[in-house]
Amino acid sequence: MSSTGWPRGRIGWVAGTIVLLVLGVVVGLILDSVLLGLALAVLVSIGWLIAYESWRGRTPGLDDPFDDGAQL
């Protein structure tokens, strides 16, 4: 089995990112600033990536009840 280097399940994230960028351009046109719309779309896209990867659950057992966030 040959690997293409493209991880499985990324089609949904890529499609969502493209939709978010298009919506960002539309919002930017409404606000008369395409750059502002693209900047907002990039920020939302980063959140989309985090939420999508979290939803996919690729890191089972990551929860550590004894880690209060202060440990380095």
In a domain, 23, yes or no: yes
CB 20 within 8 A of CB 41: yes
* Selection from 41, 16, 15 nearest residue 28 by Cα: 41
Give me the domain span that covers residue 20: 11-54
Residues 31-58: tens digit of each pLDDT: 888 888 888 888 888 887 777 777 766 5
In a domain, 18, yes or no: yes
In a domain, 66, yes or no: no
In a domain, 42, yes or no: yes
Looking at beta carbons, which pairs linking 12-15 to residues 24 or more positions away fall under 8 Å?
A: 12/52, 13/48, 13/49, 13/52, 13/53
Per-residue confidence band for 9, with pLDDT thresholds at 50, 70 and 90: low
Per-residue confidence band for 1, with pLDDT thresholds at 50, 70 and 90: very low
- Answer yes or no: pTM beyond 0.85: no
| Average of per-residue pLDDT values in the chain | 75
